[in-house]
Structure 1
Amino acid sequence: MGTLATLFAPQRVAVVGATDREGSVGNAVFQNLVDDFEGEVVPVNPSKSSVLGRECYDSVAEVPPVDVAVIVVPPDIAVEAVREAGEHGIENVVVITAGFSESGSEGAARERELVDIAEEYDMNLVGPNCVGVMSTSVGLNATFAPLNANPGNISFMSQSGAFITAVLDWASDRDIGFKDVVSLGNKAVLDEGDFIEEWGADPDTDVVLGYLEDIDNGRAFMETAREVTQDTPVVVVKSGRTDAGASAAASHTGAIAGSDRAYEAGLEQAGVIRTETVQELFDTASVLAGQPLPDNENVAIVTNAGGPGVMATDAVGDSSLSLAEFRDETLSELEEFLPDGANIYNPVDIIGDAPAERFERTIDAVLDDPNVGMAIVLACPTATLSFERLAEQTARLQEAHDTPVAGVLMGGTSAQDAREVLSDAGIPSYFDPARAVDSLDRLQEYATLQDREYTEPESFEVDEEKRDEVLARAAERDSTRLGVEAMELLDAYGIPTPAGRVVDDPEEARELAESIGGDVVMKIVSPDILHKSDIGGVEVGVSPDEVWDTYEDLVARARQYQPDASILGVQVQEMIDLEEATETIVGVTRDPQFGPLVMFGLGGIFVEVLEDTSFRVAPVPEPEAREMTEEIDAAPLLQGARGREPVDTDELVEVIQRISQLVTDVPAITELDINPVVATADGVTAVDLRLTLDQEEL
């Protein structure tokens, strides 16, 4: 695959299937190009001698050298047209034609042909089944959308073609401009990662936006986005948040993960900002494209209306931002020139009779305060205030102080000209104070992501022989689900476990209990019985002289519950004192796009009820493993709440990292739960294990 530079800045474009028949896609694409494109447009159609007054060619092979071929012919012919383009040395093709993988097995076979052709000729292929591409830098509108994009510094991609046409119409009314626009379609060759990489290197793209329904290669996407987001913000709406399929999961982790957790974790780890709605997407884009990054998360609010000021304050309280505390010099300055009745503390209420000049002095004073990282200028219409004058002053002061500002002009027609002044200065403006706060919150989020340094995951020493023995036994038995009989896997990866092992004889069980000393825990070991406690398959606090009888009781209960169950024996395990301990869980489920997804949370029997969990895509480096332990709601329990002694968090973090390495090393593990992982001030112990294997990967 070559560079995408000529895709977005071609000199000559051929339209295969161009026609002058109104209402057709071939006509719409050709007309859009003729109307705006700065280069040459060449029609290709064996049934026409000319299209819209331009000489028409019978095939791609006959056209003069072109940079881009746009294909709008039926699918079978489209495949041959792409092949001809490759043979003719055309570097970029945009296949608008539908009828490929989205239409069944025959279409999927045709799409595989497209991929093979693109690989053979090293071609950039957009689509198929897409609306096309735009680039306002050269007036390129190789789409059948009814509107062209306004010029701007946002590049936008979407898996939904209809979404593109709707956004272009919506953005036109709001003076939102774009550099490039791409309809991804089926993503047969070029996908979201390719365009993020291209736009990250484009000096004319300040923000990358995307509407995504899926990401085919999550790990490659993360690697690309992690590099790009260091300099260029990437903001996406990702649809599809349902938990379909979770009910089929065999582990706690699988049941909790759902279909969206991997995307949430992967996007966050890659530095990508995710929004919930289209409105949030473009609010975030506007502030990122137009404003500098804040020095801190503290917000100053300047307003002429008390009620809206309180609304803005509440919104700050609901966000990750904080109200700025002004230094004494700022308070003295405000007190000096603001009238009686004004509030000099944040939010600064300069009262309803304030003219633009009072706003100007106040904004200047708060932006000069080093405690202020960003500001909201909030105004309601009054007879004494010129919105346009206020906008001009706000724009000047924002540039002078180089501090991010969001405007809230709570008016309609009277505020329109002022909004245009702010927009021209790159300052976003809103009617709703909450939207202004949210946009600044996103700006701070990107500043935090940009400051974050990526750390390579640590590689721990592993007993590979012991690991391979456990997996070989599972392969020999054709086992897909393992329990405590696989505890040696944890030992192989240096994860602390209680003393004990699986035995298949009551006398051996008694001898093992005596060697451990004190009371023990005994568990039936069967790959066919997942929830052992539900059938009485676990006994706690068994003294050595009770071990023989308990062994036989456990086996009898298992046989009664499931006569055909495979009984591998009974695990005899050292008792762990839970009185001063905190039970946690470390789990993994394997996502088809992102690979192993590691979960950490509060463990025990209530894990699926509480769902107090945190997720990361493996491999997990130390800083992110530590974040996992800090961001759950129960983090205070780990840190020593209510007089409890803090647990050994360092060792807990290391266990997360070691499990992350285990599931990265062993792709056959599709699900895994260690529950509980008992954490105390003295260390961490993995007490129980459940995992699912894909035998084909062993």
Structure 2
Amino acid sequence: MVRVDGVFDAERVAVVGATEREGSVGRAITRNLLEDFAGEIVPVNPNIDRVFDRPCRDSLAGTDADLAVVVVPPEAALEAVETAGEEGIESLVVVTAGFGETGSEGARREAKLEELAAEYDLGIVGPNSLGVISTPSGLNATFAPDNARPGTMSFMSQSGALVTAILEWAADRGIGFKDIVSLGNKAVLDEADFVETWGGDPDTDVVLGYLESIEDGRRFIEAARDVTEGTPVVVLKSGRTDAGAKAASSHTGAIAGSEAAYEAGLRKAGAIRVDSTEALFDTGAMLAGGSVPSADGVAVVTNAGGPGVIATDAIGDSNAELASLAEETRERLADALPATANVHNPVDVIGDAPAGRFHDALEVVLSDPAVGSAVVIACPSAVLSFDRLAETLAAFRRRESIPLAACLMGGAAVEGAAETLAETDTPTYFDPTRAVRGIDALYRYREVRDRKERSPTQFDVDTDTARSILGRVERRSDNRLGIEAMELLDAYGIPTVDGEIVDSPDAALAAAERLGGDVVMKIVSPDILHKTDIGGVEVGVDPADVEGTYESIVTRARNYQPDARIYGVQIQDRIDLEEGVETIVGTNRDPQFGPVVLFGLGGVFVEVFEDTTVRIAPVSEPEAAAMIDEIESAPLLRGARGRPPVREDAIVETIGRISQLVTDFPAIVELDINPLVATPDGVAAVDLRLTVDPEKL
């Protein structure tokens, strides 16, 4: 297996397509390498004798390069890659475009590139990449106009243009990087490779990623889960879309589409997800320089009341909490500060505070055992020197393990102070909300780092019966099963409502009499997905009315869809919903992450309220319990408005059993149990719908 870090630690770099021609990518990359790279540079261009006073090679043959940067047209790029393989050059950056992003011919070229990589065991960045940067060696193998400042964050981006913008933006704010990679088309090396590499790099404190897709969700989860035990991973995932849900034929498929699957996948991976480029680097800057808080409380020290309130509101929306200062702390603050100061959190040192007063307040506040982190907010005043304040905060940062975020609410006057703080990895922000967001990242990462992994429960199930039931689709003209397959749930130990499917009014009456009391009647047809909408469901039918209701239900179904296949009518025992709650448990197979398990409020309004949450299978017991906590309707399950609480453990077990079912049988594409009625006595599945891929049985 190729070492991915070979892309960054090269000592001899060959540029295929090096040139001095103005405006060319080959010139820009060669010039960038010549600016700072500590190693050797070998220009490769058969049409030129020398490039920037260096002799050119005709090809990669004999260059003895550690890394080849390819900047020639697509077909020539493939030839260069093949030569690299023959010469034992294992690491390449293919800047050239014209591959999978351009249509069928480009896709052919990209497939060939993948073949060459497999044949010669090559680690290839790209194609269609801006290039790579590694600051320790001065490697800037990109055509970006700016180089990166040294730092401890490593950044990967699926957008090359975003890299160029970030380089300029970060330089103005004192933000530095260890490595940067423009992923391009990810034909060979993808985000999981770089997460693994940087996770093992002692010089990378935090991994940042802008991603539009994840090629192999399962592999990414495995890589990130290992890495995040010691290195935070922060991801900005764009392309939020419901396109994947449009083709779904189940409630779960419609709700747990691409975006929900990514959310669940990133959560399982332990990645911290953010929603903007600003948040990506706000979060990264704090994680790169801050230790994990030992206490839950955040202290705010400010010279202005309004920004202090803004910070307090932001803390209320975060994973942390506003620290409740001890009485002793408040007494010491009262002794150290003017009588008009506020000694409760947020601590207001008032507007005439010089840097020394901030120092005195912090000395006291940071010694409080409830304080795990602090936000220091300073607005301009005639007596405050931002430079002096920065020196004060830097001294605390060197001395204390408690993380600090500085909110310096000024313009040009704070530039020198920000530089001083950057030297001690203390991030600075203008907006108090952004400062709190940075602090919040430390608490979010603490949760990831301290999580206790538990293996999913393995239930005793009847896989042979389940396989036989799923195999029914092989004898049908479509791949959907409905309530006629309820025995599938029985095979996996999921309680179902008593009932049977009948094909005549007489049989319906007999079934109702066996059940006793009022019954529920449902049309059984794989072609009618929303039975309630067409009058295909009747609830609370008296046995005396069962025969007539049978005829009415079938007639409605025929009128609604004359060509629908109708297998009969299901007669079910009626569940009293006075003490029960209709929920949904389902699964959908995501292209990147595989089976996704959904839980939430069910019934006929499931797609209206969409009060659901998802996890990537297999789902452990703690994950299933957390799913119940996350839905807004959780109080309904726990006895809201005098109702008795339902058996949450029965829901947790059902989620686990469905997770095992879909893991055992990759042939299950989509599955809904809706409703799964939860009561104080347990759960019961009332309806079932699933789609099966017969080729995977």
Given the two structures, how large is their TM-score scaled by the length of structure 1? 0.97
Q: Is 1:209 paired with 2:217?
A: no
1:637 equivalent in structure 2: 636
Q: Is 1:563 paired with 2:562?
A: yes
2:62 equivalent in structure 1: 62
Is the deviation greater in 369-378 or in 396-405?
A: 396-405
- Kindly provide the CA deviation profile for residues 403-439 of structure 1, in whole angstroms up to 9, marking residues without a partner as x: 1111111122222222222221111111111111111
1:224 equivalent in structure 2: 223
In 2, distance between residues paired with 1:220 and 1:483? 33
Is the deviation greater in 671-680 or in 501-510?
A: 501-510
In 2, distance between residues paired with 1:643 and 1:420? 59
In 2, distance between residues paired with 1:421 and 1:255? 51
1:579 equivalent in structure 2: 578
In 1, distance between residues paired with 2:400 and 2:148? 32
SS at match of 1:236: strand
- Contact 2:397 2:424 survives alignment (8 Å): no
- Alpha-carbon offset, residue 132 of structure 1: 1.0
Identity %: 62
In 2, distance between residues paired with 1:404 and 1:434? 16
Counterparts of 1:501-540 in structure 2, within 5 Å, are 501-540=500-539
In 1, distance between residues paired with 2:653 and 2:530? 28
In 2, distance between residues paired with 1:692 and 1:421? 61
SS at match of 2:240: coil
Q: Is 1:32 paired with 2:38?
A: no
In 2, distance between residues paired with 1:412 and 1:533? 62
- Contact 1:368 1:401 survives alignment (8 Å): no
Counterparts of 1:426-445 in structure 2, within 5 Å, are 426-445=425-444
Counterparts of 1:272-351 in structure 2, within 5 Å, are 272-351=271-350
- Kindly provide the CA deviation profile for residues 572-623 of structure 1, in whole angstroms up to 9, marking residues without a partner as x: 1111111111111112222111112211111112211111111111111111
2:148 equivalent in structure 1: 149
- Kindly provide the CA deviation profile for residues 255-286 of structure 1, in whole angstroms up to 9, marking residues without a partner as x: 22343111111101111011111111110011
Counterparts of 1:479-518 in structure 2, within 5 Å, are 479-518=478-517
- In structure 1, give the amino acid aligned to 2:35: D
- Alpha-carbon offset, residue 569 of structure 1: 1.5
- Kindly provide the CA deviation profile for residues 515-548 of structure 1, in whole angstroms up to 9, marking residues without a partner as x: 2222221111011111111222112122334333
1:409 equivalent in structure 2: 408
- Alpha-carbon offset, residue 103 of structure 1: 1.0
- In structure 1, give the amino acid aligned to 2:461: V
1:113 equivalent in structure 2: 112
- Alpha-carbon offset, residue 245 of structure 1: 4.5
In 2, distance between residues paired with 1:99 and 1:364? 60
- Alpha-carbon offset, residue 213 of structure 1: 0.6
Structure 1 portions without partners, runs of 5+: none
SS at match of 2:683: strand
In 2, distance between residues paired with 1:303 and 1:428? 17
2:462 equivalent in structure 1: 463
SS at match of 1:215: coil
Aligned residues: 697
In 1, distance between residues paired with 2:585 and 2:295? 34
Is the deviation greater in 522-531 or in 560-569?
A: 560-569
Q: Is 1:3 paired with 2:33?
A: no
- Alpha-carbon offset, residue 475 of structure 1: 1.6
- In structure 2, give the amino acid aligned to 1:674: I
1:419 equivalent in structure 2: 418
2:17 equivalent in structure 1: 17
2:42 equivalent in structure 1: 42
In 1, distance between residues paired with 2:398 and 2:450? 23
In 1, distance between residues paired with 2:383 and 2:17? 61
Structure 2 portions without partners, runs of 5+: none
1:610 equivalent in structure 2: 609
SS at match of 2:136: coil
- In structure 2, give the amino acid aligned to 1:383: A
- Kindly provide the CA deviation profile for residues 86-117 of structure 1, in whole angstroms up to 9, marking residues without a partner as x: 01111111111111111111111111111111
SS at match of 1:111: helix
SS at match of 2:460: coil
* Cα-Cα RMSD: 1.5
1:232/1:60 CA distance change after superposition, 3 Å: same
- Contact 1:479 1:695 survives alignment (8 Å): no
- Kindly provide the CA deviation profile for residues 195-243 of structure 1, in whole angstroms up to 9, marking residues without a partner as x: 0000000000001111111011111111111111111111111111122
- Contact 1:398 1:405 survives alignment (8 Å): yes
Counterparts of 1:145-184 in structure 2, within 5 Å, are 145-184=144-183
In 1, distance between residues paired with 2:62 and 2:245? 54
2:131 equivalent in structure 1: 132
- Kindly provide the CA deviation profile for residues 149-208 of structure 1, in whole angstroms up to 9, marking residues without a partner as x: 111111111111111111111111111111111111111100000000000000000011
In 1, distance between residues paired with 2:403 and 2:35? 39
In 2, distance between residues paired with 1:52 and 1:580? 82
In 2, distance between residues paired with 1:400 and 1:33? 39
- In structure 2, give the amino acid aligned to 1:644: R
Given the two structures, how large is their TM-score scaled by the length of structure 2? 0.97
Is the deviation greater in 67-76 or in 315-324?
A: 315-324
In 1, distance between residues paired with 2:494 and 2:388? 66
2:75 equivalent in structure 1: 76
- Contact 1:296 1:373 survives alignment (8 Å): yes
- Alpha-carbon offset, residue 5 of structure 1: 3.0
